[in-house]
Homo-oligomer: A and B are copies of this chain.
C-alpha cells in the first residue's frame, strides 16, 4: 500500500491514524459486536460516540455554553437555504459580503427567502482581495451579516474576522474550521460541510447562539428547523451516524496533536513554505492579494499555461494528486488542510523547484 499526498479541495485527505482506527473498528466497535454503521442512533453505543464527538468539538473551539452544536445533512449548499429560512426571523433582509464563488452561491440562494443586501464585493478586484471592512455598507436592521471565511475556489481567506456591531455575524467556515483558533462568541452562527477539515462528506455542522433558535419560516422542512434539530440533540431525523463517528475520531486526533493552536502553527508553516516557493520566482503567478491569501487553498498558475499538463503529470507520478485548479479559475490549487502533513507540502515544493529548473 502506497498512500499519496492528496491535495483535493474536498472531500479531502484525512489523518492516516483516523483511517487506521476506522478500519480496525469496522466490524466490531469496542467489543460491541457491531460496526458503527450498524448501530441504532438511539442505542447507548452510538449515543456515547455522538456525545464524545460533540464534547471534543466544544473543547477544541471553546464553544460557549449558550451555543448549540447541530450535526446536520446537506452540506454548505443546502445550508445556504436552511440558514436564511431559520435566521431571517421576520427581518426584511440580510447583509452578504461577496468575496467569490461560495459567497455568490450563498447570497443567490438567500434571495429565495428574503431581501439580500450585498454590502461589499470583491468583484472589482477580480475577487483577489477581501473588501476593506471600512467600506462595507452594513444595515443595522439586517437579520445577520454573512461572510465566507475561506473561499475554497478563489483561494482567499479572512486573516481576521470583522466587527459588525450588534447584528449577528454568520460565517461559512466549511473550509477553514478548526484550522486556527476562533472566538465563537463573536458569531451568531458558524456552519460548514465536514469534508475538508472534519470528516466524510454528508455531515454538516452548525454552531449557533441559542437565542437565534425558534424563528424558522413556515416553509422550513421540520428536519431542517434549527430549533427542532437542537431540541432533539440532532436526532429528529436519523443523523449521518458513521460520518459523525469519523468526525469524532478526527477531533480526538486534533486534540492529541495539540488542538487548533498547534494546527494554526503547522498551517502557517505549510503556507509559508508553499507561498515562499511561489514568491521566489515569476515562473509562478499568484493572483490573490498577499494579505488575503488562503492558508487552506493555495491558488497559483504557471506563467506558461502550456506547461500545466506536464506539471500535473509529473506531480501525479510523484504521488502528489488533485492539484488541478477549479474550472472557474483554472491553473493550480493545492489544498493543504489540517490532515496534510508538512512532508506533503515539502514534496510538492521539491517538485515545483525541479519543474522550474527544467522548464524555467
Contacts and interface: CB of A to CB of B under 8 A. Distances in A.
Interface of A: 1-4, 6, 8-14, 16, 19-20, 22-24, 26-28, 32-35, 37-41, 43, 73-78, 80-82, 109, 112-113, 193, 195, 199-203, 217-219, 221-224, 236-243, 246, 319, 321-322
- Listed from nearest, the 6 A-B pairs whose CB atoms lie closest are A202-B240, A81-B221, A4-B33, A23-B26, A77-B237, A73-B73
Given A22-B26, A41-B201, A238 B1 contact: no
B40 A14 contact: no
Contacts of A41: 11, 201
B1 A14 contact: no
A243 B199 CA distance: 13
Given A1-B27, A241-B11, A223 B73 contact: no
B75 A74 contact: no
A199 B224 CA distance: 22
A109 B201 contact: no
* Chain A residues touching B, majority SS: loop
Given A82-B221, A202-B73, A202-B243, A19 B26 contact: yes
A223 B77 contact: yes
Contacts of A224: 74, 78, 81
A135 to B, nearest CB: 30
Contacts of A218: 112
28 contacts: A1-B28, A3-B27, A8-B39, A14-B38, A19-B27, A19-B35, A23-B24, A26-B26, A33-B319, A37-B200, A43-B322, A73-B73, A74-B237, A75-B238, A76-B237, A77-B222, A77-B223, A78-B237, A80-B221, A80-B222, A112-B221, A200-B242, A202-B203, A202-B239, A217-B219, A219-B219, A240-B243, A243-B243
Contacts of A73: 73-75, 78, 202, 240
A312 B151 CA distance: 53
B26 A16 contact: no
Contacts of A109: 221-222
